[in-house]
Amino acid sequence: MILPATLLPAVFFYLFAGMCVACAFMVIAGRNTVHSVLYLILAFVNAAGLFVLLGAEFLAMILIVVYVGAVAVLFLFVVMMLDVDFAELRQGVLQYLPVGVLVGVIFLAELLMVVGAWVIAPGMPQSISAPTPTTISNTEALGRVLYTQYVYYFQAAGLVLLVAMIGAIVLTLRHKPKVKRQNIADQVARTKETAMDVRQVKSGQGL
């Protein structure tokens, strides 16, 4: 069966959205924590697919690179390194499920009401200072302005990261003078004269 072209985005939307919700549920329902993190990664990938459908391909790629590539891997490390009994933490989930569902339904109802009633200020679209370009892709649009128009923000963000790095070092690095470390240069520089001490030991006497 061949789908009409107009139907295709809708099909993919429901595919990605459904997968995303299912994965999100599995994150909290999974028995094994490592599986939970893997489902989380799958949820991220599906969310990235949704962004592609919206035409925000740069955001989609960033989501994959940052969340899947860095954050999720960090989670995996934490999960594997910490000795936390997640099965115990999760006890009583079913007990709280009705309340959770109720809260979720209330949130959904509120969201629907907000979307229905909230009107963006009518004159606002005319005063937008930087409208979205329609002729170029958003990756290219970002690339054109990031190092030119927005170079100041870019550099400022760099300084913030520098402070974060210095701060992490100041607060955690400890110089321990008593720790024995391997110093290859010292080892290579040793000669027979500096490393060995030849003594003549007479028989019957100790050193």
Partner 1 sequence: MNAVALSSMTQALPEIVLAAGAMGLLMLGAYRERSTQAVNLGAIMLLVAAAVIAASIPNGRIFGGSFIVDDFARYLKILVYIGSGAAIILSLTYLAAEKQEKFEYSILILLSTVGMGMLISAGDLIALYLGLELMSLALYVVAASNRDSVQSTEAGLKYFVLGALSSGMLLYGCSLIYGFTGNVSFVGIAKASGQGGIGLIFGLVFLFAGFCFKVSAVPFHMWTPDVYEGAPTPVTAFFAAAPKIAAMAIFARATISAFPAITLQWQQIVVFVSIASMALGAFAAIGQHNIKRLMAYSSIGHMGFALVGLAAGTAEGIQGVLVYMAIYLAMTVGTFAVILSMRRSDGMVEEIRDLAGLARTNPPLAFFLALLLFSLAGIPPLAGFFAKYYVFLGAIKAGLYGLAVIGVLASVVGAYYYLLIIKTMYFDEPAEAFSPVPFELKAMLGIAGLFNLLYFVYPAPLIVAAGIAAKSLF
Interface residues with partner 1 (CB under 8 A) are: 120-125, 127-129, 144-145, 148-149, 151-153, 156-157, 159-160, 162-164, 166-167, 169-171
**Rounded least distance, CB 56 to partner 1, Å:** 17
Cα–Cα dist 158/162, whole Å:
6
Closer residue to partner 1 in complex, CB, 35/144: 144
Closer residue to partner 1 in complex, CB, 6/126: 126
Cα–Cα dist 178/170, whole Å:
20
Closer residue to partner 1 in complex, CB, 5/130: 130
**Rounded least distance, CB 124 to partner 1, Å:** 5
| Residues 71, 76, 82, 85, Cα dihedral to 10° | 120
Cα–Cα dist 199/169, whole Å:
48
Closer residue to partner 1 in complex, CB, 94/169: 169
Cα–Cα dist 31/26, whole Å:
9
Closer residue to partner 1 in complex, CB, 3/170: 170
**Rounded least distance, CB 23 to partner 1, Å:** 27
**Rounded least distance, CB 32 to partner 1, Å:** 32
Cα–Cα dist 27/39, whole Å:
6
Single-letter amino acid code for the residue at 74: L
**Rounded least distance, CB 125 to partner 1, Å:** 7
Cα–Cα dist 142/11, whole Å:
29
